[in-house]
């Protein structure tokens, strides 16, 4: 197994924060590695180092001679008015048929491929960027939070792609379900040290918990032994008859060391509002239609949610989940029908349209004091603020200087300090690290009120949802099964689609082969296939020459040399076009 990338004795710090402390890691061919660690541990910094975008303070990065890195860009590299096909051809310098073939693996077809890319949702744009990645034929993919804002169907498509991808991957993600499905090994960054665990994320987390418990037991034993030795030394060191024994015990005491438990970092604890359980329907939608004056999203909605339920709103991006939530909380007028809340429902909302409108003149502490229910102590307010990363001087910050993520966390903290018996949560985990999301899940499981929520985090959904409401194709319905059943149905739908596409391709190929190779001798067949193979090598060579000429032309300052390069580029491009045309003819003739 060849080594693609190696990090040796790496040191990196920002001010007082140590991100890498004599860290080592090796990534080899075909490894699929999930990269985990707390927010701020340095995962994104390490990716930038591996991409040669940032330098180490000490240590070295060794890159294999055959390394080809593909990096999923978080920014949008698209030009105004560009289609997905235009972008793929521009970015990869590959012909349209090749770009269309790779795009099809991510279901990018028809208007999605040929229409303006700016009109696609974030999830579909991510699919386009993944197709672009694949067209560069990397042997190591670096993915930084690839599931952010992807709907369930796109996440599963990405999983299928990564499982079938024959090369190496290093994936940073807080999504445990995604890492469990795609990565065979787990790389952990804790307190500057990198540890490669030879197993999946769930096994690693179990190992981590067992190791913590073991270290705690060992420390308890060591502490008891230390106390015993200290007592003996104190009683006997002054006596001549036992002084030598006391010195011996003192040497034993020096050798006893407590194990540093690496997970002793602050852990979030979140307390949900304390409310009395209620019976009967909390919400009824009667022949409801939702959407906007010029666009209907869904009609004929007739759902019911009981008090105490935790209802997950599911569906692909763009189907109307957020539109439904906004209509339920009266921030969007229904197009028709009624939304009826039960008697005594106190509704708390966590959604973008709420956390972007917090009064900016307040400090963090003032906002939380205003939102907290009567009788909440200052200590409880500060504890809730701290659990959502507002600690020490941060509670005195003005809302006006907070980032979007900080405002979102502040809104969540205010919600948890209230006395709401209904919580509406739109993507509550987007600005929280994995430990805080886990703490929020524990709090919601303990909550006696009603929760209506959306999330892209499958682990969170599976833990929390007691019922499922699907938004799809202009309809909203109570899904018959639980979230596991919904996951199974989406997976099956994707699997069936992939099998049908493969069968159709096979049938088409078989038909073409039967029709076009009939009457052709084996010798002629071999001759055509040899020509096809030689053409593929020629196309690859010409394509490489074209890229090299383009690169040289961009940096050339001598006019004569630039003219020569331009003429050579024109000749190579023409030869490449002819070769690709002949390749297509041969493919058609052979029936592949």
Q: pLDDT tens-digit profile of 414-466?
A: 998 988 999 999 888 876 767 778 888 999 999 999 999 998 888 899 999 99
Q: pLDDT tens-digit profile of 175-196?
A: 888 999 999 999 999 888 899 9
Count of residues in the chain: 592
Domain-terminating residue out of 480, 504, 534: 480
Q: Mean per-residue pLDDT for 195-204? A: 90
312's tokens: 């997950």
Rounded to whole angstroms, the maximal C-alpha distance in the chain is 110
Clarify whether residues 212 and 290 are in a common domain: no
Clarify whether residues 463 and 536 are in a common domain: no
Clarify whether residues 395 and 301 are in a common domain: yes
Please say if the pLDDT value at position 567 is more than 90.
Answer: no
Clarify whether residues 107 and 145 are in a common domain: no
- Examine residue 267 and state whether it is found in any structural domain, yes or no: no
Please say if the pLDDT value at position 272 is more than 80.
Answer: yes
Clarify whether residues 12 and 86 are in a common domain: no
Residue 108 sits at φ, ψ, to 5 deg, of: -90, 100
Q: Rounded to whole angstroms, how far apart are CA atoms 557 and 568? A: 17
Residue bearing the bigger pLDDT, 209 or 284? 284
Clarify whether residues 421 and 561 are in a common domain: no
Q: Rounded to whole angstroms, how far apart are CA atoms 526 and 532? A: 10
Clarify whether residues 186 and 114 are in a common domain: no
Residue 391 sits at φ, ψ, to 5 deg, of: -125, 155
Residue 3 sits at φ, ψ, to 5 deg, of: -85, 125
pLDDT at 7: 92
- Examine residue 492 and state whether it is found in any structural domain, yes or no: no
Please say if the pLDDT value at position 135 is more than 50.
Answer: yes
Q: Mean per-residue pLDDT for 559-569? A: 74
- Examine residue 271 and state whether it is found in any structural domain, yes or no: no
* Residue 161, helix vs strand vs coil: helix
Q: Rounded to whole angstroms, how far apart are CA atoms 380 and 222? A: 35
Q: Mean per-residue pLDDT for 86-97? A: 92
Residue 225 neighbours by CB under 8 Å, 6+ apart: 256
Lowest mean pLDDT among 223-227, 300-304, 335-339: 223-227
Query: Concatenated DSSP letters for 48-79?
Result: HHHTTSS--SEEEEEE-TT--EEE--SS--PP
Closest of 325, 309, 304 to residue 450, by C-alpha: 309
Q: Rounded to whole angstroms, how far apart are CA atoms 543 and 535? A: 12
Distance of CA 199 to CAs 32, 337, 513, Å? 10, 52, 44
pLDDT at 512: 45
Domain-terminating residue out of 137, 168, 184: 137
pLDDT at 481: 80
pLDDT at 62: 93
- Examine residue 390 and state whether it is found in any structural domain, yes or no: yes
Q: Rounded to whole angstroms, how far apart are CA atoms 145 and 152? A: 15
Q: Mean per-residue pLDDT for 218-237? A: 84
292's tokens: 């906007």
* Residue 216, helix vs strand vs coil: helix
pLDDT at 503: 60
Q: What is the chain's mean pLDDT, rounded?
A: 84
- Which neighbouring-strand residues pair with 453? 312, 425
Residue 286 sits at φ, ψ, to 5 deg, of: -115, 105
Residue 388 sits at φ, ψ, to 5 deg, of: -110, 30
Q: Element (H or E) spanning 22, and its range?
A: strand 17-28
Clarify whether residues 458 and 534 are in a common domain: no
pLDDT at 517: 47
Lowest mean pLDDT among 113-117, 274-278, 505-509: 505-509
The DSSP call for residue 346 is -
- Examine residue 498 and state whether it is found in any structural domain, yes or no: no
Distance of CA 574 to CAs 529, 570, 581, Å? 23, 6, 11
> How many domains, in total, are found in the chain?
5
CB contact at 8 A, 307 and 473 = no
Q: Rounded to whole angstroms, how far apart are CA atoms 273 and 419? A: 5
Instruction: Let me know the angle formed at the C-alpha of 251 by 246 and 256, rounded to the nearest 5 degrees.
Output: 120
Residue bearing the bigger pLDDT, 214 or 27? 27
22's tokens: 């004599």
CB contact at 8 A, 558 and 105 = no
At 268, is the pLDDT very low, low, confident or very high (cuts 50, 70, 90)?
A: low
pLDDT at 322: 86
Give the domain range for residue 234.
Answer: 205-255
Q: Mean per-residue pLDDT for 495-509? A: 60
Residue bearing the bigger pLDDT, 101 or 215? 101
How remote is the C-alpha of 15 from its chain's centroid?
A: 28
Lowest mean pLDDT among 131-140, 279-288, 439-448, 484-493: 484-493
pLDDT at 155: 86
Clarify whether residues 388 and 530 are in a common domain: no
pTM above 0.75, yes or no: no
pLDDT at 311: 95
pLDDT at 513: 46
* CATH number where 149 lies: 3.40.50.300
Q: Mean per-residue pLDDT for 56-75? A: 86
Lowest mean pLDDT among 195-204, 208-217, 471-480, 574-583: 574-583
Please say if the pLDDT value at position 74 is more than 90.
Answer: no
- Examine residue 505 and state whether it is found in any structural domain, yes or no: no
Clarify whether residues 193 and 323 are in a common domain: no
128's tokens: 């386009």
Residue bearing the bigger pLDDT, 416 or 122? 416
* Residue 24, helix vs strand vs coil: strand
Q: Mean per-residue pLDDT for 327-349? A: 93
CB contact at 8 A, 474 and 297 = yes
Query: Concatenated DSSP letters for 477-525?
Result: EEESS-HHHHHHHHHHHHHHHHHHHHHHHHHHHHHHHHHHSTT--HHHH
């Amino acid at each position: 197994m060849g080594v693609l990338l190696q990090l040796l004795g790496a040191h990196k710090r920002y001010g007082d924060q140590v991100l890498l402390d004599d860290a080592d890691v090796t990534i080899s061919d075909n490894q699929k590695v999930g990269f985990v660690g707390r927010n701020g541990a340095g995962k994104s910094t390490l990716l930038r180092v591996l991409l040669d975008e940032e330098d180490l303070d000490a240590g070295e990065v060794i890159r294999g001679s055959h390394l080809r890195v593909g990096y999923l860009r978080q920014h949008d590299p698209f030009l105004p008015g560009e289609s997905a096909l235009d972008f793929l051809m521009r970015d990869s310098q590959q012909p349209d048929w090749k770009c269309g073939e790779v795009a099809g693996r991510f279901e990018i077809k028809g208007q999605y491929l040929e229409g303006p890319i700016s009109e696609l949702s974030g999830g579909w744009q991510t699919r386009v960027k993944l197709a672009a990645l694949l067209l560069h034929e990397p042997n190591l993919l670096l993915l930084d939070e690839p599931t952010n804002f992807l709907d369930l169907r796109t996440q599963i498509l990405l999983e299928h792609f990564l499982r079938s991808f024959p090369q190496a991957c290093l994936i940073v993600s807080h999504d445990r379900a995604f890492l469990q499905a795609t990565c065979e090994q787990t790389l952990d960054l804790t307190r500057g040290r990198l540890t490669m665990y030879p197993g999946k994320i769930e096994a690693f987390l179990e190992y981590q918990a067992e190791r913590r418990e073991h270290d705690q037991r060992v420390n308890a034993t060591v502490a008891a032994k230390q106390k015993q030795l200290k007592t003996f030394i104190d009683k006997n060191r002054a006596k001549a008859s036992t002084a030598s024994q006391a010195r011996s015990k003192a040497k034993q005491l020096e050798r006893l060391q407590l194990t540093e438990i690496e997970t002793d970092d602050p852990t979030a604890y979140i307390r949900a509002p304390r409310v009395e359980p209620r019976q009967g329907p909390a919400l009824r939608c009667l022949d409801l239609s939702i959407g906007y004056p010029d666009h209907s999203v869904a009609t004929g909605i007739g759902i019911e949610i009981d008090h105490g339920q935790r209802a997950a709103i599911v569906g692909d991006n763009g189907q109307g989940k957020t539109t439904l939530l906004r209509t339920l909380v009266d921030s969007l007028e229904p197009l028709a029908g009624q939304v009826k809340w039960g008697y005594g429902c106190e509704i708390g909302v966590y959604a973008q349209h709420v956390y972007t409108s917090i009064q900016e003149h307040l400090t963090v502490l003032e906002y939380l004091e205003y939102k907290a229910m009567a009788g909440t102590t200052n200590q409880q307010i500060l504890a809730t603020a701290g659990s959502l990363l507002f600690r020490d001087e941060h509670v005195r910050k003005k809302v006006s200087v907070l980032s979007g993520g900080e405002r979102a966390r502040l809104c969540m903290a205010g919600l948890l300090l209230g006395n709401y018996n209904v919580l509406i949560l739109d993507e509550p985990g987007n600005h929280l690290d994995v430990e805080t999301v886990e703490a929020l899940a524990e709090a919601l499981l303990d909550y006696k009120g009603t929760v209506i929520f959306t999330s892209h985090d499958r682990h969170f959904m599976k833990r929390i949802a007691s019922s499922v409401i699907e938004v799809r194709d202009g309809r909203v319905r109570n899904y018959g099964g639980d979230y596991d059943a919904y996951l199974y149905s989406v997976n099956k739908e994707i699997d069936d689609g992939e099998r049908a596409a493969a069968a159709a391709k096979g049938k088409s190929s078989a038909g073409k082969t039967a029709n076009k190779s009939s009457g052709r001798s084996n010798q002629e067949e071999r001759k055509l296939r040899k020509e096809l193979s030689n053409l593929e090598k020629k196309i690859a060579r010409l394509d490489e020459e074209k890229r090299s000429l383009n690169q040289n032309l961009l940096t050339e300052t001598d006019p004569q040399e630039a003219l020569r390069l331009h003429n050579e580029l024109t000749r190579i491009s023409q030869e490449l076009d002819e070769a690709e045309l002949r390749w297509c003819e041969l493919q058609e003739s052979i029936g592949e």
